[in-house]
Chain A
Amino acid sequence: MSERKGLGWREGAFLAEAAAQIGCLTVVVILLALGAGLWLDSRLGTKPWFTLGLVLASIPVSLYMVVRLALSAARRAQGRESEESKESKESEESENR
């Protein structure tokens, strides 16, 4: 990626995919925990303990998953960059020969 030119078509699509995943993750995890907690409490008559416990537990879990997702996206982006720079170097060398 060149600093001046910014992202190209592929890198832009890759960034959009990663951002879209990160944007949805927190709400999915917390809503699942909330739904499961409310359901368990209504079935077992334990209101509010399951709801509270599961939702409280979902906060660090969702934060951890967001960080993991962001880091793995960054690693994949770096891998793609180094592969692309390798390819361009190889093609330059073959042209020089």
Chain B
Amino acid sequence: MKRVVTVLVVLVLIGLCAFSCVIGPLGQKWVVQPHVQMAAETFPIGPVRVPNSLMGMLLAGLVLIGLFAAGTRHIRAGRPEAMVPRGLQNLVEAIYEFLANFLRGILGERSEKMLPLLITFFLFILVANWVKLIPGFETIGLIEHAHKGEGHAVRQVGPLLFLTHEKGKYTLIPILRAANTDLNVPLALALISVFMTQVYGVQALGWGYFSRFINIKALTSGGLMGVMNFLVGLLETLSEFTKIISFGFRLFGNIFAGMVLLVVIPSLVPFVAPVAFYILELFVGAVQALVFMMLTAAFTAVATAGHGEHH
């Protein structure tokens, strides 16, 4: 029976792919050609215009707060059933334990202070990257007059307006956009990451931590090697600034490219093919969240270990 079901599923998938290959390009006639904009679009809420990436960020925050508030309600209330976790509490505890153990491997006993920040980085970036895959992101919004470029005509169906592929003077301002497709968000996260690395460095090594950047002692008493050490310190200072840029642009680049892909591919082949890219985006979203957390943890390990120290 299982084999029959498997064969049927494979046959249906092959059929859908064939259908997509034949009908897909024809579907372009009905699809609105994509318009990709790097800066976040703004839409009015009362007297102010709010960027749609902010709405995506708030949604990600609400999902996270809701999940963890619901998952930890028994623990916070001090109820005895919290001792035997069930349902959401199991999920929340499993996520925390996995991440905490992973980070303890990197940071050892230093990790306890840093866990809240690092785990928040991972979960926020993960949820912000994944919520953009919900249908309606970047496709539902307000229709406004197009200020520049080509607009589209609109068609009314009941109370709703739809953009059509015909030329016109209207454009769509989506209400929701993935937070990390707006460069401001990854850069803000990068600034927090690099700033907190310095804070943890000072906490671990005292004010002597800054001697890795400006090493006056080496310059005055170290001879030629001292001068070299001083110059290396200046390079270290520069590298802290490049970290902000690399952190920010890596996350932004990956997620923005994913957004472009999810806009371009359905406009070429509207059926079936986009599914593969949605799966890829799930993977990329998780990898980017993990990479951001791991890099912050690794840089913190470097900052708190002291120059030249290794275990």
- A8 is an interface residue with CB less than 8 A from chain B: yes
Closest to B268 in A: A48
Number of interface residues of B (CB under 8 A): 46
**Contact A9/B305 with A16-B299, A19-B294, A20-B250 known, Cβ cut-off 8 Å:** yes
Closest to B299 in A: A16
Q: Which residues of A contact B300 (CB under 8 A)?
A: 12
Q: Which residues of B contact A55 (CB under 8 A)?
A: 261, 265, 277
Give the shortest distance, in Å, between B58 (CB) and chain A (any CB): 26
Q: Which residues of B contact A84 (CB under 8 A)?
A: 310
- A66 is an interface residue with CB less than 8 A from chain B: yes
Cβ B307 vs Cβ A6 within 8 A = no
At the interface, is chain A mostly helix, strand, loop or mixed? helix
- A30 is an interface residue with CB less than 8 A from chain B: yes
Q: How many A residues are at the interface, by size bracket? A: 35 or more
User: Once bound together, how far apart are the Cα atoms of A4 and B24, in whole Å?
Assistant: 56
Cβ A6 vs Cβ B111 within 8 A = yes
Q: Which residues of A contact B261 (CB under 8 A)?
A: 30, 34, 55
Candidates B104, B288, B292, B294; contact of A6 at CB < 8 Å: B104
Give the shortest distance, in Å, between A26 (CB) and chain B (any CB): 6
Residues on A close to B: CB < 8 A?
Answer: 1-13, 15-16, 19-20, 22-24, 26-27, 30-31, 34, 47-48, 51-52, 55-56, 59, 63, 66, 84
Listed by A's residue number, 17 A-B pairs whose Cβ atoms lie within 8 Å are: A1-B311, A5-B108, A9-B302, A9-B309, A9-B310, A11-B310, A12-B305, A13-B298, A24-B250, A24-B254, A27-B254, A30-B280, A31-B257, A51-B264, A52-B268, A59-B280, A84-B310
